[in-house]
Structure 1
């Protein structure tokens, strides 16, 4: 009796990170996609927590100041992430690193 005999089809193409046999440009390019995505998610969470902390400060100046500081830090982080994206693009264009530039397009 063969109850669990199933033939699966082979999936075409590779899945996951494309680091195998890659050079530095490929590794950096593939890593940056995930780093920027995680940074964006963390930025959103940090902004939401700062806004919630500000709304629940109930007029306490110390709590309101802490919340404003958290929101300011999140926005500064966004500017750093945004600037780093464009710095990578400019450096890749100047140095001719096509693998990095293809990652972001």
Structure 2
């Protein structure tokens, strides 16, 4: 039994590889690694923590929004069909999303207060 191996450029799973050769063959590129130093954009630990927490709060808010939409959709669909169990699940999802959103706002406020009291650079809420 002979196994033949096709190059990636002939694979239907990777159609973009057909154009990669022409794109990368266009010319040489010089990359200076000193231009991408993380120390220029994040000078200290307070700023790094600020960046991480801002992104975490944004992600938590987006997740809470999706859960709120999902719970509302489930509640409306269950109410239309008269499914009491589904309505209860929808109510629980909405309640959980609102509690989670309240916790995110409260924790962001606490982190901003701690940042203000300690005098760190780069306040969390842009104060």
Query: For this structure pair, what is the TM-score category when the shorter chain's length is used for normalisation?
Result: 0.7 to 0.9
CA–CA separation in structure 2 for the residues paired with 1:42 and 1:56: 21
CA–CA separation in structure 2 for the residues paired with 1:84 and 1:15: 31
Q: Which runs of 5+ in 2 are unaligned?
A: 1-21
Higher relative contact order (CA 8 A, sep 6+): 1
48 and 61 in structure 1: CA distance in 2 versus 1, 3 angstrom threshold: same
CA–CA separation in structure 2 for the residues paired with 1:47 and 1:61: 19
Q: TM-score, normalised by structure 1?
A: 0.75
Shift of 1:14: 4.6
Q: TM-score, normalised by structure 2?
A: 0.64
User: Number of residue pairs matched?
Assistant: 98
Runs of 4+ in 1 over 6 A off after TM superposition: none
Indicate the residue corresponding to 1:85 in structure 2: 108
Indicate the residue corresponding to 2:51 in structure 1: 30
Shift of 1:8: 4.8
Indicate the residue corresponding to 1:104 in structure 2: 125
Larger Rg: 2
- Aligned with 1:63 (options 66, 80, 86): 86
Q: Which runs of 5+ in 1 are unaligned?
A: none
